[in-house]
Structure 1
Amino acid sequence: MPPPPCCADPRTDQPYPPHDPVPVVTQYASPELIGDIAYGGHDAADDPRWRESAAPTHNAYRRWCRHICGMACLRMILLHRDAGTAPNLFQLLSGARAFGAYTRDTDGIHGMFYDPFAAYAYETHDLDATVHREMRMDELLGLLAAGHMVMASVSKEIRRPHLTPPRRGGHLILATGLDDGHILFRNPSGHTPDTTAAALPTERFATFFAGRGISIDVSPTGRQRPAPHARTRQVTS
């Protein structure tokens, strides 16, 4: 199917309308448990719906669920652009690992690394991804106004915007547009409906923003997309 109008029309309006609809994808299989996982001491691996994540094993889910906010962002982009069709989280993770976006050793899991992720997004999913090692707030706003989506590095505490975060960065959210002085975004680890599909005033968003991220131009590049089977190798446990 063709992309939605917000992904296909020439970028002439300023600001460009927010991307819509963008489905919510959480990095945990049970969104209703995220609050307890984040603040109640609940073991993220103790999730009765873990199979719904498409993890190949429970052990794989336990190992990776805290690390796949970037894959949740990517899946939301693809579901939006491709009319509800996208590989599952662990298929995306497998593909990203093949490009080096994550590594795993005796010290644990490292990543998501932006440059190999951008290569993966382009080569496998025909997404024009640009790495921004430094991104000012005005640059973020300009990208959103121009119709880009942005995977922005923020504090995970952005789900509690009334608090001052102890640090910035460490978590990825998907910014989808601007509306009346607010940044609209999807948070893969939001713990309530209004924090998974969220909006914050730009000045408050800046409190959590680490000043780096990946901008995604979702308009068609004209390249032929790979066959679906190229995306489906599973993560091994």
Structure 2
Amino acid sequence: MTVATSHHVPYFAQWESAALVPDFISGASSAADDPLWESSGADSAEEYAFWAPRMCGMACLRMALGYFGHRVPASVPLVREALAAGAYVRDGDQVQGLIYAPFAAWVASRWDLFAEAKPQLSVEQVDTELSRGRLVLLSVHKTIRTLDPEPAERGGHLVLAVGSGPDHITIHNPSGFPGHSQEFHQVPRSDLPRFFAGRGVVLGRAQ
């Protein structure tokens, strides 16, 4: 039987204006028009607009850093560090990432945290890690924000597992919808397999 676990983790969207996420996703507004873009630490609105849709992993890391008591860096400077560490690979307008092994190595050395890439990760293992006080980045399909009954695939987007219960996994979703699926979104266990690719990264305090 799964014992209920919940960690009080701060929330950050991958866009600076979390309330505007639905508009950014639908295309009703451009990320370059985000009124808070300068808070990202980007040098320009264009740099911010390039990275914001790709920063789910950095948003999850920022949440974890806040939870584990570290200063939370601005998002775009964090992306630059991740690029230098090989956690992202950029080729023109194409970005490969998040690459789990170099990401975990960077996090462990940079912040003295436990960080382990999990190319194979079961929901039961997620429960175990959460019960140990850790957090887990999960690779899911982006339409988990609405619990799409037929997502196109599994994986491709990162959310942060922050708790669990007998019938659900609780996530912080960097591209979730405000008031619905951003903070402490309880995803039913019966729905999770449609979205979850069975891989991720475990983060915790150093052992």
TM-score by length of 1: 0.80
CA distance in 1, matches of 2:29, 2:153: 23
Letter in 1 for 2:7: H
2:76 is the alignment partner of 1:90: yes
Contact 1:16/1:147 (<8 A) preserved: no
Name the residue aligned to 1:35: 22
- Which residue is equivalent to 1:163? 149
Distance in 1 separating the partners of 2:93 and 2:148: 34
Q: Given the alignment of the two structures, is residue 204 of structure 1 paired with residue 191 of structure 2, yes or no?
A: yes
Structure 1 residue 73, shift from structure 2 partner: 0.3
Alpha-carbon distance in 1 for matches of 2:186, 2:38: 30
Query: What is the CA deviation profile of residues 83-128 of structure 1, one whole-angstrom value per residue up to 9, with x for unaligned ones?
Result: 7x31111222122111111111135222111111001100001111
Larger radius of gyration: 1
Instruction: Point out 4+ residue stretches in structure 1 off by more than 4 angstroms.
Output: none
Partner residue, 2:101: 115
Confirm whether residue 62 of structure 1 aligns to residue 49 of structure 2.
yes
- Answer yes or no: is the 8 Å Cα contact 1:18–1:147 preserved in 2: no
The alpha-carbon deviation at position 32 of structure 1 amounts to 2.0
Q: 1:18 aligns with which of 6, 14, 20?
A: 6
Q: Are the aligned partners of 2:136 and 2:202 in contact in 1 as well (CA < 8 Å)?
A: yes
User: Residue 78 in 1 paired to residue 65 in 2?
Assistant: yes
For residues 96 and 40 of structure 1, do their structure 2 counterparts lie closer, same or farther at Cα, with a shift above 3 Å needed?
closer
Of all paired residues, the percent bearing the same amino acid is: 37
Give CA-to-partner distance per residue, 1:167-220, whole Å, 9 cap, x none. Answer: 11110000012134221110001122231111112221222111110011x224
The code of the aligned residue for 1:118 comes to A
Unaligned runs of 5+ in 1: 1-13, 222-237
SS in 2 for 1:210: coil
Counterparts of 2:13 and 2:194, CA distance in 1: 23
* Residue 187 in structure 1 maps to residue 194 in structure 2: no
Q: How far is the alpha carbon of 1:140 from its aligned partner?
A: 2.4
Q: 1:106 to 1:94 in 2, by over 3 A?
A: closer
Q: Which residue, 121, 141, 144 being the options, matches 2:130?
A: 144
Q: What is the alpha-carbon root mean square deviation over aligned residues? A: 1.9
